[in-house]
Chain A
Amino acid sequence: MQMFISVLVGGLVLGCTYGMLSMGYSLIYQASGYMNFTQANLLMLGAFIAWQMYSIWKFPFVVSLITALLIMFCVGWMMERFIIRRLVAKKAKNVYVVLATIALSIIAENAALLIWGGRINYFPSLYGNNDPIQIGSASVTKEQITCIIVALCAMVILHLFLNRTKFGTSMRAAAQSKTAASCMGINVNRTIGITYGIAAALACLGGVLVAPTMYVSYQLGNNLSAKSFAGAVIGGYGNIYGAIVGSLVIGLLETFVAGYVSSAYKEFIVYGVMILFMIFKPSGIFNAKVYDI
């Protein structure tokens, strides 16, 4: 029972992190129809910025979290404004936009490597005392619980923003049909830019939340990116709620396989499940539109 609880909590932490990333992927795909491979490295950059502010410059954690969020929001917005929009205006094919995002993610990863070095850094503890919380007979760290709770709150806030506020509704309208939305007076360029910014901020939040439980290094993004794609695909690519569900499934699957079967096979199982979904049910759990003739 003890192992079950710790594996469960570990799986939820991973699932929430993948969820932050895959929500970003689905948001961007829904809003503009492109895939964005930079999310994972934006997560890593956000984690580094927060680590730098919290453990080196000794700001309070909340301040460093909010600063990192704002910085990454601006980075995401600038990325859309200067690179993606220019490519779309040139009527470049889909592949070139995807390649541009891959190039950006390489630049981000290696810039982090050059600025902060290749060492693996650890977050100092967020709370004063480091006592683990006891659930039953298992003990989980406070950082893990924080990660899960804050991630779930962020998902709820995003849902409320998209459905209850005027701007969120205009974002959904622009995602459904750009032409109709601009006929209604919605500034489609601005909504797409803010969508990219929100996706980047989500990735940064995921990074800052997961970094205290794992580590901070320039490799952080690579390890997480492919599996959060798997989460987005399984849940239905383009559907935010599907992304959350799919990522939680992937996170729990990975930790349960690692805990109960073997650590070497967990990656195989995760990628295998993704490939099986792509072969047999590509529209995922929530039935996204994926057939191209």
Chain B
Amino acid sequence: MKFISQKNIKKLSAAVILGLVALVPFMMEKNIIFRQNKYFYVLICLIGIYSIATSGLDILFGYTGQISFGHAGFFCIGAYGSVLLSHKSWGIALLGVSPLPPIVSILIAGLIAAVIGALLAVPASKLVFHFLSLLTIAFNQIMLLFVANFPQLTNGYVGITGIPMIQIFGIDFSTRKSKFMYFYLVLFFLAVLLILKQNLVHSRVGRGLIAIRENTMAANGCGVNLKKYKIISFAISAFYVGIAGALYAHMIGFISPDTFVQNTSVIFITMLLFGGSGNLVGPVLGAMVITFIQEGFQALANYRMLIYGTVLLLLILYQPTGIAGFGKNISSRLRKLGGAHNGDARS
């Protein structure tokens, strides 16, 4: 049938998976998977939020080949931006402007992060890539120092509590009142952003980004405007991570500078490399597995970063394509096993 073509199969399977994921909270209610424990609801929301952030980093690293060790800085901008715009007693409320509803402040915080990402990319787009990594590390440190050392603005290391919960048309998405409504909000954002990411990657802009990743000089020779596309890639990546940061702030209800240290950037990169960069499901898988490891191995909290470092090193040495790359290898190996001829174009 014409309906079941190659392209439509992918869309159908994506819709089916989305439906299954949307049923997860109901299965948790009925104790089918996990237990009816508030902690697990927060866990799946966290997975969603980290998936958004890792997908953003994937646009920069997996598709454009630029590295950034400072994405926790954009996470910070998203979180603090959204909080300062919507909090009743911090931020713009101090200036006398009435605070915005949280949904609007989330989007605006994402846009602010995108603008700052574009500004950051302007000087670094001309230089050898080492400078981009140095610049992003410095950016992360500056953001951390900025939110920690201006107590009039951000309450310093004490942090900001009482972040307003999200309410859309009277439906309350807070984690206090309803157990799994916030998960649907995060799922909605994740689905929309992933669809946007796929559209970006399969468009002319996406092909330009992939060209930059493969060989910068050749891309320049083919007419790809390096500076413009690097700035676009950085801005979109920052937008994703900013939105993730804002969602994180409104879920937990409390933020402090300790969340946005250099370690968080390294965890994002670990998630991305673990799951596989340059494809759709890789970042989500990586976020899922690493979040489970992070929460499940609480007993080994002292060893946590050591395990991450070792895992990262082993991944880089032996499997830089991550789990998703492993999956691709398996499918081609199974096909070979099933009798595809060697040298056949299909194998």
In contact, A95 and B61 (Cβ under 8 angstroms): yes
Question: Which residue from chain A places its CB closest to the CB of B122 in the assembled complex?
Answer: A279
- Cα A92 to Cα B131 in complex, Å, equals 19
Residues of A within 8 A of B149 (CB): 264
Whether A87 contacts B130 in the complex (CB less than 8 A), given A99-B67, A102-B266, A106-B305, comes out as no
Cβ contacts A63-92/B at 8 Å (1 or 0 each): 000000000000000000001001100001
Question: Which of A278, A282, A293 is B216 in contact with, Cβ under 8 Å?
Answer: A293
Residues of B within 8 A of A35 (CB): 130, 133-134
Give the shortest distance, in Å, between A49 (CB) and chain B (any CB).
19
Asked if A256 is at the interface of the complex by the 8 Å CB criterion, the answer is: no
- Cα A110 to Cα B69 in complex, Å, equals 19
Whether A83 contacts B313 in the complex (CB less than 8 A), given A291-B127, A292-B129, comes out as yes
Cβ contacts A95-113/B at 8 Å (1 or 0 each): 1101110111111011101
Question: Which residue from chain A places its CB closest to the CB of B277 in the assembled complex?
Answer: A95
Residues of A within 8 A of B216 (CB): 292-293
Q: B residues 186-230 with Cβ under 8 Å of A? A: 216-217, 220, 226
Asked if B123 is at the interface of the complex by the 8 Å CB criterion, the answer is: yes
Question: Which residue from chain A places its CB closest to the CB of B220 in the assembled complex?
Answer: A293
Q: Which of B8-16, B96-104, B136-144 contacts A (4 or more CB under 8 A)?
A: B136-144
- Cα A237 to Cα B127 in complex, Å, equals 12
Asked if B273 is at the interface of the complex by the 8 Å CB criterion, the answer is: yes
- Cα A234 to Cα B313 in complex, Å, equals 30
* Interface range, B side: 35 or more
In contact, A107 and B131 (Cβ under 8 angstroms): no
Cβ contacts B279-307/A at 8 Å (1 or 0 each): 00000000000000000000000110110
In contact, A226 and B316 (Cβ under 8 angstroms): no
Residues of B within 8 A of A278 (CB): 123-124, 127, 131, 134-135
Asked if B317 is at the interface of the complex by the 8 Å CB criterion, the answer is: yes
Question: Which of A103, A264, A272 is B316 in contact with, Cβ under 8 Å?
Answer: A103
19 example contacts (A-B, Cβ-Cβ < 8 A) are as follows A92-B320, A95-B65, A99-B273, A99-B316, A100-B317, A102-B69, A106-B305, A106-B308, A229-B138, A233-B131, A233-B134, A267-B145, A268-B145, A268-B146, A271-B145, A278-B127, A282-B126, A292-B216, A293-B226
Residues of B near any A CB (own CB < 8 A): 61, 65, 67, 69, 123-124, 126-131, 133-135, 137-138, 141-142, 145-146, 149, 216-217, 220, 226, 262, 266, 269, 273, 302-303, 305-306, 308-310, 312-313, 316-317, 320
